[in-house]
Chains A and B, each alone.
Chain A
């Protein structure tokens, strides 16, 4: 499974979006698409499980989880990929 596929699967399972994940582009605002702050915590923890790392404190901000593109950038930074 690619990084993007994994991110989309995590969003499907945990983001509780109001729209299907398939309709999201890289830049779609996930909070605008219905993800609550509490759901973003679950997304964070599920991403850590999926990619086997722990987000650093400086990355624990809303902007890290605001879009698929932003999440990919965060995952890439944390995994060194």
Chain B
């Protein structure tokens, strides 16, 4: 007879200074943006202000997403291979909340760690953004060893 044990939980937390993101966008522009964020994330963080498509970046939203990516890494606990930043995507749902979607190395690490799911919460003020990520691992049976 086997008995189920509670799922293992992993928690990651990170904070990012919004001004650091502002400086990165100013200094490195699209090289910074496209190296770190997926097209979907960039769409979510860009506000068109003119009809020609030019607009402004929400540094707070970018900072929150970077914090979330770091928080996911703390859950995944990579040792040798570091997932590429864009393999961790914050996907905004129609209701406004975000879900985490993994691909590539990040997804492989999650599978190896038997992480069944991830949940994220983002927050930001004018100067700082934060994210907390909870990952739950597959339930194991005691007889599984």
By a beta-carbon cutoff of 8 Å, the part of chain A in contact with chain B is: 16, 36-39, 41-42, 45, 57, 60-62
By a beta-carbon cutoff of 8 Å, the part of chain B in contact with chain A is: 14, 16-17, 20-21, 23-24, 27-28, 31-32, 35-36, 66, 70, 78, 80-82, 84-85
What number of residue pairs across chains A and B have CB atoms under 8 A from each other? Answer: 38
Chain A binding surface SS class: helix
Residues of A within 8 A of B80 (CB): 61
Task: Find out whether the CB atom of B82 lies under 8 angstroms from the CB atom of A62.
Answer: yes
Add 10 more A-B contacts to A42-B20, A45-B24 (CB < 8 A): A36-B16, A36-B20, A37-B14, A37-B70, A38-B20, A41-B32, A41-B36, A42-B27, A45-B28, A60-B82
CB distance from A12 to the nearest CB of B (A): 14
Task: Find out whether the CB atom of B16 lies under 8 angstroms from the CB atom of A38.
Answer: yes
- Given the interface pairs A38-B20, A38-B21, A60-B84, the reply to whether A45 lies near B70 with Cβ below 8 Å is no
